[in-house]
Every structure is written in C-alpha cells, then in structure tokens.
C-alpha cells in the first residue's frame, strides 16, 4: 500500500519566468511528526531544487521561516503539516505585505530600516566605567519588559497587520514593541529620544488597534498592547508638557526637539 501523502500547494514566483505568482502542487509524505518546513525541505531535496525559501534554526527561535500557511501567518517550523487531517491541500504563500523576491522569499529591508529608527538598544545619558559593575535589576523591573524582549523579528505581526499593508511607512508592530521593550527597561534613558521618532503619524498613531499582530505572534509578545501603552505614555507626555512645562521630563523633551 502506498504511503499516505499530503498535497502541498506552494506559491511560486520566478521573476525570469512569471509576471505574477502561480500555484504549484507537490505530493509529500504525510508524516505525523513533520512540520510544514519539513515538507518544504522535502520538496527542495527530492522534487524541485529550485524552490526558494528562508529557514535556519528549525526550532522557533531564529524567525526566518515565517510564511502564510492556509491564509494565516505562521512559523513553518512550528506548524504541523498534517494537523488539519481533512485531505485538503496545505497552501503555502510568502508573508503578505512585503514584496516577493522569489517564491516564498520576501524583501524585508523596509522593516530593518524601521527597526533601526526605533533604536532598539540601551541608550544611556551617562558614561559608567566597566569597573562600576553591572546595572542590577530587580525581578519586577525585569518583568516590566521581558515579554516584549521575546520578539524574534519573524514579521508574522507585519503580515497580519492591515495597516502595514495599506500604509507601508507605518513603523509596524515589532519595531514599536521593541522600542517599548527598551523604554520599559530600568537601565535605559532613551525614551524621549524614541518618542520623537515614534510619536509621529507613521509611528504609534498609525496603529488603529486591529489586534491581529498579538494573535499571530508565536512568542506571546503582544505588540498591540505595547503600542497602546506607548500611546498612553505619549498622550501623558504631551499633557505634562502643556500643563507642567517646567517639569523635568518636559524640559528633556524640549531639549530633544531642539537638538
């Protein structure tokens, strides 16, 4: 008896051959332990070596293998191939909202620019020598930002965000969540600096709180929550600068603007 198979419907885009993507079907073994990524690797190894896709760690850490599986943004290394079990083909497409370079590979340089503008690193306003030792944190201080530090830049949140599709300049969920990750870090002093960039329309105010970014996040980061918290902080900051213009935070903000 022939081994059971699963039909994999893969979106192909080979710019030298096609003007727009086409669907191609492959029959792959229906192994219970296989993830969609295993099936794609089977296609590449045994059926069509030209199939192009990104992957690396195979354990949900590197964030490279994000694709659209049956219409949903997923890490293919963590999406069981035969889980559905209804005999319908498993459809694999590139992540939505990004230009497709080839087959399942998308162009992500726009995201990398947005990430850089969010300044996702510790910013200090002092120069502490190494001899002074570590910047210690309490467990509560760590808990404040830990959730947001779990982001692996897999871009599933961007693929799920209709605002990112409609307004490509929108900073997007991951960049904003990572900015918030550093804002909430007790060691960081860069909140005012980030606020200048991210309180623009293309920053936090571009988010209309669809909330799908948090639903699809494989790491439970909750970018939508991070952005809403950021909005509250920005609004409070604005009110403070109007009502208490002499306060320290308001002065720091004005210095940033003047810089």
Partner 1 sequence: MNRRRFHPRWFRRRTPIFWWLEKGVYVHFIVRELTSLGVAYAALLLVVQVGVLGAGDAAHARFTALLASPWAVAWHALLLATLVFHTLTWLHLAPKALVVKLGGRRVPNAAILAGHYLGWLAASALVVLVLVRS
Provide the residue count of the chain.
Answer: 259
Angle between the N-to-C axes of helices 191-198 and 248-258, in degrees from 0 to 180, rounded to the nearest 10: 60
User: Any contact of residue 210 with partner 1 (CB under 8 A)?
Assistant: yes
- Contact between residue 176 and residue 226 where contact means Cβ atoms under 8 Å apart: yes
Nearest distance, CB of residue 57 and partner 1, angstroms: 26
Nearest distance, CB of residue 27 and partner 1, angstroms: 26
- Whichever of 30 and 233 has its CB closer to partner 1, that residue is 233
Q: Whole-angstrom Cα distance, residue 182 to residue 115?
A: 13
Residues 74-103 interacting with partner 1 (rule: CB under 8 A) = 96, 99-101
User: Any contact of residue 165 with partner 1 (CB under 8 A)?
Assistant: yes
Binding mask 174-193 for partner 1 (x = CB under 8 A): --------------------
User: Any contact of residue 109 with partner 1 (CB under 8 A)?
Assistant: yes
Between β-strands 5-12 and 90-93, what pairing exists: parallel, antiparallel or unpaired? parallel
Q: Which residues neighbour 246 within 8 Å (Cβ) at sequence distance 6 or greater? A: none
Q: Nearest Cα to 184, choosing from 147, 157, 239?
A: 147
Tokens representing residue 165 in the block: 């599709």
Residue with tokens 């809403």: 228
Q: Whole-angstrom Cα distance, residue 117 to residue 202?
A: 12
- Whichever of 62 and 233 has its CB closer to partner 1, that residue is 233
Stretch that binds partner 1, among 32-40, 106-114, 127-135, 186-194 (CB under 8 A): 106-114
Pick one of 110, 137, 241, 249: the residue that binds partner 1 (CB under 8 A).
Answer: 110
Pick one of 4, 15, 45, 135: the residue that binds partner 1 (CB under 8 A).
Answer: 15
User: Any contact of residue 208 with partner 1 (CB under 8 A)?
Assistant: yes
Binding mask 218-237 for partner 1 (x = CB under 8 A): ----x-xx--xx-xx-----
Beta bridge partners of 72: 69
Pick one of 128, 131, 136, 140: the residue that binds partner 1 (CB under 8 A).
Answer: 140
User: Any contact of residue 166 with partner 1 (CB under 8 A)?
Assistant: yes
Pick one of 9, 193, 215, 256: the residue that binds partner 1 (CB under 8 A).
Answer: 215
Between β-strands 90-93 and 22-29, what pairing exists: parallel, antiparallel or unpaired? unpaired
11 phi and psi angles, rounded to 5 deg: -80, 125
Q: Where are the alpha helices (DSSP H) in the chain?
A: 36-42, 109-117, 139-149, 156-160, 162-166, 173-183, 191-198, 212-216, 223-243, 248-258
User: Any contact of residue 71 with partner 1 (CB under 8 A)?
Assistant: yes
Residues in contact with partner 1 by CB under 8 A are 13, 15, 20-21, 71, 96, 99-101, 107, 109-110, 113, 140, 143, 162, 165-166, 168-169, 208-212, 215, 222, 224-225, 228-229, 231-232
């Amino acid at each position: 008896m022939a081994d059971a198979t699963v039909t994999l419907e893969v979106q192909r885009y080979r710019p030298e051959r096609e003007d727009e993507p086409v669907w191609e079907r492959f029959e792959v073994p229906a192994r219970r332990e296989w993830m969609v990524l295993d099936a794609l690797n089977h296609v590449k190894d045994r059926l069509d070596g030209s199939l192009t896709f990104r992957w690396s760690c195979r354990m949900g850490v590197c964030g490279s293998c994000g694709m659209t599986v049956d219409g949903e943004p997923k890490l293919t290394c963590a999406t069981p191939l035969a889980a559905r079990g209804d005999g319908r083909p498993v459809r694999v497409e590139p992540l939505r909202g990004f230009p497709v370079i080839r087959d399942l590979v998308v162009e992500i340089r726009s995201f990398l620019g947005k990430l850089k503008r969010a300044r996702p690193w510790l910013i200090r306003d002092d120069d502490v020598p190494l001899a002074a030792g570590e910047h210690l944190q309490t467990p509560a201080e760590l808990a404040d930002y830990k959730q947001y530090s779990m982001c692996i830049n897999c871009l599933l949140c961007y693929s799920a965000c209709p605002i990112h599709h409609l307004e490509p300049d929108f900073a997007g969920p991951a960049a904003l969540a990572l900015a918030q990750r550093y804002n909430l870090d007790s060691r960081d002093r860069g909140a005012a600096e980030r606020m200048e960039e991210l309180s623009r329309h293309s920053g936090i105010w571009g988010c209309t709180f669809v909330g799908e970014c948090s639903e699809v996040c494989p790491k439970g980061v909750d970018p939508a929550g991070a952005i809403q918290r950021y909005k509250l902080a920005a609004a409070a900051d604005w009110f403070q600068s109007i009502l208490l213009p002499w306060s320290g935070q308001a002065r720091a903000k004005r210095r940033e603007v003047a810089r």
